[in-house]
Structure 1
Amino acid sequence: MIKSEIRKLYLEKRKALSQDEVLSLSEKIFENFVNYFKPISGQKIHIFIPIEKFNEIRTESFIQYFLSRSIKVFVPKIVDTELISVEIFSDTKFETNNWGISEPVSNEDSHIYDFDFIITPLLYCDKNGNRVGYGKGFYDTFFEMLSEKSKKIGVNYFDPDDMIDDVWENDIPVDYLVTPVEVLSFFKDC
């Protein structure tokens, strides 16, 4: 399938989920992430704030868990068409942007590119780690700046099924996919 078809299909599948299903599946994804990756104090994790109207994976449990264990937490913010990474704390102030996304009030880019984990939103991920997002390319550009040691982790309610037929040269796949059922590795050793 091509990205535009996949995007439409998985937006509809997400829309069909009840809020109880979103919360329950998000919690299972959180548990699978923690059990598999075992994040520890001092690590740096970049994680998105969900767009609730699109039924994105709820990341509040992740963020609370990380902050309570002295794990540094960074979230994306779009400033002048660029995705920057802002460090957040338990008392960080947030505001809703024009797209309905909650973002930190601060525009201070951390300039950190050696994250231990980048937990990435996506609509779909195939069996090779290729992603379909909303089509803006923010994460591909962001991924290009990251340290090779940073693990790019997609999270999704749905398992890979169809392959993405129109993968482009600049598309950067994720290294892992965490679903409510399992953690898949696409990591390729050199």
Structure 2
Amino acid sequence: MLKAELRKKYMQKRKALSTDEAFLLSEKIFENFIEYFKPVSDQNVHVFIPIQKFKEIDTQIFIDYFLSRNIRVFVPKIVDAKLISVEIFKDTQFEINNWDISEPVSNVDSEVLDFNYVITPLLYCDKKGNRVGYGKGFYDEFFENISSETKKIGVNYFNPDEFIDDVWKNDIPLDYLVTPTDVLSFFNGEE
């Protein structure tokens, strides 16, 4: 299936979820992430802040957990058409940007490239780790510049059931996908 078709299909599936369903599924995804990856203090985790109107996975659960355990938390911010990584703390000030996304007030790029995990937003991920996002390419560019040791982890309400037919050469696949029921690994193209 083409990315545009998958984007439309999974936006509709996500919109069909109630707020309560989305939160309960987010909690299950969080629990699967913690159980599988077992993050510990002093690790670096880059995690997106959800776009609530798109019913993205509630990553505030992740952020609160990480901050309470001395795990360094970094969030994306688009500055001058580039995704930067801003470190946040319990007292970080946030604002709503032009796209209704909460983001740190700070525009200071941490310049950290050695993350243990990058928790990545997506609309769909296939069985090879290929991702359909919103089509801006920010994460592919970001992935090119971070440590090759970083685990790129997608989170989604839905398990993959079809392949993406129009994968581009610049698309960088994920290493893992965490859903409410599974943690899938894509190393060597295998689950």
1:44 match: 44
Structure 2: where are the runs of 5+ without partners? none
Q: What residue in structure 2 maps to residue 96 of structure 1?
A: 96
Q: Give the letter for the 1:172 counterpart.
A: I
Q: Which amino acid aligns with 2:112?
A: I
Deviation (angstroms), 1:188:
3.2
Q: Is 1:15 the counterpart of 2:2 in the alignment? A: no
Residue 164 of structure 1 is matched in structure 2 by: 164
TM-score of the aligned structures, taking structure 2 as reference length: 0.98
- Residues 17-36 of structure 1 show CA distances to partners (whole Å, capped at 9, x for unaligned) of 00000100000000000000
Q: Which runs of 5+ in 1 are unaligned?
A: none
Instruction: Give the total of aligned pairs.
Output: 189
Measured against aligned partners, the alpha-carbon deviations of 1:125-174 in whole angstroms (never above 9, x if no partner) come to 00000000000000000000010100000000000011000000000000
CA distance in 1, matches of 2:145, 2:9: 31
Q: Indicate the residue corresponding to 1:84 in structure 2.
A: 84
SS across alignment from 2:187: coil
Q: Structure 2 counterpart of 1:166, which letter?
A: D
Once the two structures are TM-superposed, the CA of residue 187 in structure 1 deviates from its matched residue by 2.0
Consecutive aligned runs of 4 or more in structure 1 exceeding 4 Å deviation: none
The secondary structure found in structure 2 opposite 1:188 is helix
User: Which amino acid letter does the alignment assign opposite residue 73 of structure 2?
Assistant: V
| Partner SS state of residue 41, structure 1 | coil
Aligned-partner Cα distance in 2 for 1:29–1:187: 20
Q: Which residue of 2 aligns with 1:74?
A: 74
Paired with 2:145 and 2:94, the residues of 1 have a C-alpha distance of 25
Whole-angstrom distance in 1 between the partners of 2:179 and 2:143: 21
User: In the TM superposition, what are the counterparts of 1:1-190 in structure 2 within 5 Å?
Assistant: 1-188=1-188
- The superposition leaves residues 21-59 of structure 1 with CA deviations (integer Å, 9 ceiling, x where unpaired) of 010000000000000000000000000000000000001
Partner amino acid, structure 2, of 1:9: K
For 1:26 and 1:91, locate their aligned partners in 2 and report how far apart those are by CA, in whole Å: 24
Deviations along 1:81-132, whole A, 9 cap, x unmatched? 0000000000000000000000000000000111000000000000000000
Supply the AA of the counterpart residue of 1:104: P
What TM-score does the superposition give when structure 1 sets the normalisation length?
A: 0.98
> What amino acid is the match of 1:176?
Y
**Amino acid corresponding to residue 51 of structure 2 in structure 1:** I
Tell me how far apart the structure 1 counterparts of residues 188 and 81 of structure 2 sit (CA, whole Å).
Answer: 31
Q: Deviations over 1:58-89 (max 9, x none)?
A: 01110010000000000000001000000000
CA RMSD of aligned residues (A): 0.8
Identity, in percent, stands at 71
